[in-house]
């Protein structure tokens, strides 16, 4: 059988096995996803397997960089990829996607053992690293801003605008109505 015929046969088998399973999803005829763990669990992740043109003669492409996996630490992602690639090497030449998903399912607990139990723990670990990096960057880049220097004339002008206490006199921003109306002119009445 050719690789294309083997792929078609395996696709039909996968769709019949996972029929009605909400964790399984076929994105394209050669790309499949399976979600491990419970919904809204910090340790749940999505494994994506894509077949190349010569699959099953070659290893499939394993992708752990999906948006769903944004909270999964890099160490867990690397461990999953290593496990799946090692298992795929054993099954070269035969249908292996179901076997790969089952292998990850069997090792799910040990794969996610290094994943923090909550986002708070994960965020505190990463935020501590970021804070130390940011402090170093700030110390290097922050220079004290120069204070603007005013001349004696500018200082005197500001002092004269305000009274001795630093407050402006009452009505300093009022509009002079008579002056304003004399500049705009009288309102012309329309004749109808």
Residue 181 is predicted with a pLDDT of 79
Residue 124 is predicted with a pLDDT of 57
Q: What is the pLDDT of residues 79-103, one digit of tens each?
A: 999 999 998 888 888 888 889 889 9
Residue 179 is predicted with a pLDDT of 80
Taken in order 174, 177, 178, 180, the sign of the CA dihedral is positive
Q: Do 62 and 56 form a contact (C-beta atoms < 8 A)?
A: no
Domain residue ranges in the chain:
3-111
Residue 48 is predicted with a pLDDT of 92
Residue 31 is predicted with a pLDDT of 92
Residue 32 is predicted with a pLDDT of 92
Q: Which of 99, 98, 108, 100 is nearest to 72 (CA)?
A: 108
Q: Specify whether domain 3-111 bears CATH 3.40.50.10490.
A: no
Taken in order 45, 108, 85, 60, the sign of the CA dihedral is negative
Residue 191 is predicted with a pLDDT of 61
Q: Which of 50, 52, 61 is nearest to 28 (CA)?
A: 50
pLDDT tens for the chain, residues 1 to 192: 677 888 888 889 988 998 888 889 999 989 999 998 888 788 888 999 999 888 888 889 999 998 888 888 888 889 999 999 998 888 888 888 889 889 989 988 888 888 877 655 555 555 666 667 777 777 666 666 677 788 888 888 877 777 767 677 777 777 777 787 788 877 676 665
Residue 50 is predicted with a pLDDT of 92
């Amino acid at each position: 059988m050719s690789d294309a015929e083997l792929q078609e046969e395996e696709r039909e088998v996968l769709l019949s096995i996972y029929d009605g399973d909400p964790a399984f999803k076929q994105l394209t005829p050669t790309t499949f996803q399976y979600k491990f763990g419970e919904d809204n669990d910090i340790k749940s992740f999505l494994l994506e397997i894509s077949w190349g043109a010569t699959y099953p003669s070659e290893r499939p492409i394993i992708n752990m960089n999906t948006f769903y996996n944004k909270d999964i630490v890099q160490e867990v992602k690397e461990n999953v990829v290593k496990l799946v690639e090692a298992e795929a090497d054993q099954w070269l030449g035969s249908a292996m996607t179901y076997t790969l998903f089952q292998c990850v399912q069997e090792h799910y607990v040990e794969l996610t053992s290094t994943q923090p139990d909550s986002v708070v723990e994960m965020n505190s670990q990463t935020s501590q690293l970021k804070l130390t990096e940011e402090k170093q960057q700030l110390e290097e880049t922050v220079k004290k801003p120069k204070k603007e220097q005013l001349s004696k004339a500018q200082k005197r002008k500001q002092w004269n605008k305000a009274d001795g206490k630093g407050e402006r006199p009452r009505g300093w921003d009022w509009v002079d109505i008579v002056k304003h109306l004399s500049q705009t002119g009288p309102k012309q009445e329309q004749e109808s």
